[in-house]
Amino acid sequence: MKVKRKGISFLIALILVFSAVPMSVSATESSNGLIEIMPFWSNITSITPNLSISSGTATCSATVIANTGTTNISGTFQLQRKNADGTWTTVKTWNSTSTTRTLTWSGTNAVTSGLTYRLRCQVTVVRNGSSETATVYSAERKA
């Protein structure tokens, strides 16, 4: 009876191993040593948000690089504060556009000591008559 159970267990394990769906992931090591998993977009090459906080000021920046053939990039950049319940409130919003395949943006805003902030970047890229919208977030930073 034990042999039969082991055989059935082995057979089930083999079925599970060979029925697994293979996945493709792009992973790169960031400057802080963490592994970042990046999404694949059709029109967008990369979106790189950055948030640093020093002396009560948040310095925000983002670089958007789109694929060749891009005619317009529009971005909405929001500095957000984390609430006690874990939700986020937007404290400052900026907008920027570019008619090339690269959008580089930066802004600053005062922050409150002891609170946690992040930068939300929502960009829309128009390329070859189609548009694509993506949203990415910076790492969280404590003021």
Summarised one tens digit per residue, pLDDT across range 64-106 is: 999 999 999 999 999 999 999 999 999 999 999 999 999 999 9
Has residue 133 got a pLDDT over 70?
A: yes
Q: What's the pLDDT at 9?
A: 72
Domains of the chain: 40-142 (2.60.40.10)
Q: What's the pLDDT at 51?
A: 98
Position 37 confidence tier, pLDDT thresholds 50, 70, 90: low
Q: What's the pLDDT at 13?
A: 65
Structure letter (DSSP) for residue 54: E
Q: What's the pLDDT at 40?
A: 82
Q: What's the pLDDT at 49?
A: 97
* Beta strand residue intervals within the chain, DSSP E: 26-29, 35-38, 44-54, 57-66, 70-82, 88-98, 102-110, 116-127, 130-137, 141-142
